[in-house]
Amino acid sequence: MASKKVLVDLDMSSTSKVVNLPQASASGDAVRYDEFVELDANCDSLVTLTGVSENAVNFGSFTGSTISANGTLKNILQELETQAESNQLSVKADSTAFLSIDSNEISISSLAITDVTVDSTSTTIAAWNTANTGHGKEAGDVLVLANAANSLNRSYIHNGGTDGDENDWTRLQTDITPSNIRGYLSSNSGISYDSATGVFTAVVDDDTLEIHSDSLRIKAAGVGLNEMDFGTSAGQVDLSDLPLNTYSWSRITSPSDAEDAIQKLDADIAGIIASGNVALNNGTATDGNNNGSVDVRTDAVGLEVDGSNNLRLKDLGVSTAKLAADAVDGTKIADESIDSEHFVDGSLDFEHMNSAMVCSDFSAAGADQVARADKIKEYIDARSYMRMEDQDVDLLAGQDMTVTHNLGNKYVTCQVYDSADKQMDVEVTVLTANTLKIKASVDASDSKVIIVG
């Protein structure tokens, strides 16, 4: 029979209760009130420690992405373990000369500057290494190239490498100064620098570009033919980019652009060729140009095309039939270009002669005047004169012949006729009141000399 415990210290006053109950020490023991209160407080503390409400069955949601929402404590710990193991730190390949990790400990290699070398000969780190093989530099040593081709590639620190070339050196950051920047700008870079204010300014020609409200822009009408990139490749300007003004087209249907207009005109011209008055060099023309030009056909008598492909009148191409009546006046005739054979017999009369060349007083006639016949007759009738005639006179060309006329008048008229009774052109020189001499340009025998005076 199981043992029995005897309840003692029963308080049977107003409310029955057990007092002086021993502290529970094994499973099945009764728990005193103070023990229960302590246990309940501890449970509340555990609930508070979890961060979730009492009677919650999971840990709710988290703000990050590592822990899943509504998971149990085990699930949460598992996810944290997996994430930690998948994020082991490692050193990047190009930084192994400076950093290393051993048993989760990061070590930094010593880069303390131990030696500084300034070189004024080499312009690049590669050139320096070539000129200084076996230099013996160690990690932390600094090399300065005073005459570096690029001022930004001037300072280097040895990284402990053993390749024996420029890979053993790491370039140090070099500050860029205003003089560096100015050095990068050539004289024709389009940027000017004011050393007094430190302001950089865009330089524009003010023909194609301008500065407007502190902004660079193309000037109005600044893009001309020289600035246009004409061609048929992508991005180039061709005829299809040229718009047309509003126009009432009569030969072709309204074209959309210049290229469309030319293509439609080409098709229209092809229809004109059938008339036979125009020849088109479209690849079948007989002149071999094959350039799409239009040839003007000429009769090669009045018109022709010269060597510069210009249409012109052909030499001697204008016949009298092409001249309108009374179309040519004196301004179109060259001076002294019409000789006597081009005058129609009887076409000249006093009305069409200059009045100044006609002398009405024969006795006062000038060397460039002619006298009217009636005035000559009056002059002769009014004078008393004598005549001397000598026949069968032989004249030799170019030789003077002195003739004695004894008319008592120095200034006389002398005429010479050859054997055929044709008046000759001779040179007459009066000598005295009774003599003169004559000179013929040709030989003339049996000549007649008549002297009146």
The kind and range of the H/E element at 39 are helix 33-50
C-alpha distances out from residue 150 to 130, 183, 393, Å: 18, 10, 117
User: Could you tell me if 59 and 49 are in contact, meaning their C-beta atoms sit under 8 angstroms apart?
Assistant: no
Residue carrying the six token digits 């308080």: 11
Rounded Cα distance between 379 and 376, Å, is 5
CB atoms < 10 A from the CB of 190, how many?
Answer: 13
| 3 state DSSP class of 7 | coil
- Going from N- to C-terminal start, the domains of the chain cover 10-50, 116-175, 384-452
Q: What share of the chain is helix, strand, coil (3-state, %, to 5)?
A: 25, 25, 55
Residue carrying the six token digits 């006062």: 364
Threshold 0.85, pTM exceeds: no
Rounded Cα distance between 404 and 430, Å, is 11
| 3 state DSSP class of 416 | strand
In the numeric block, which tokens belong to residue 162? 């053993």
| 3 state DSSP class of 444 | strand
- Per residue of the chain (453 residues), what is the pLDDT tens digit? 455 454 445 555 555 566 666 777 777 777 777 777 777 788 888 878 778 888 888 888 888 888 888 888 888 888 888 887 777 777 777 777 677 777 667 777 655 566 889 999 999 999 999 999 888 888 888 999 989 988 888 899 988 888 889 899 999 877 777 676 766 666 667 787 776 777 778 888 888 888 888 888 988 888 888 888 888 898 888 888 878 888 888 878 888 888 888 888 888 777 766 565 555 554 333 444 545 556 677 777 888 888 877 888 888 888 888 888 888 887 888 888 888 777 777 777 766 777 777 777 766 777 777 777 777 777 766 665 667 777 788 999 999 999 988 888 888 889 999 999 999 999 999 999 889 999 999 999 999 988 887
Q: Torsions phi, psi of 100, nearest 5?
A: -150, 155
In this structure, the dihedral spanned by the alpha carbons of residues 413, 418, 423 and 429, taken in order and rounded to 10 degrees, is -30
In the numeric block, which tokens belong to residue 245? 């003004």
- Tell me the CB-side half-sphere exposure of residue 261, using CA atoms within 13 A: 16
Rounded Cα distance between 42 and 148, Å, is 75
In the numeric block, which tokens belong to residue 265? 């005109």
Q: What is the DSSP letter of 368?
A: T
User: Could you tell me if 387 and 452 are in contact, meaning their C-beta atoms sit under 8 angstroms apart?
Assistant: yes
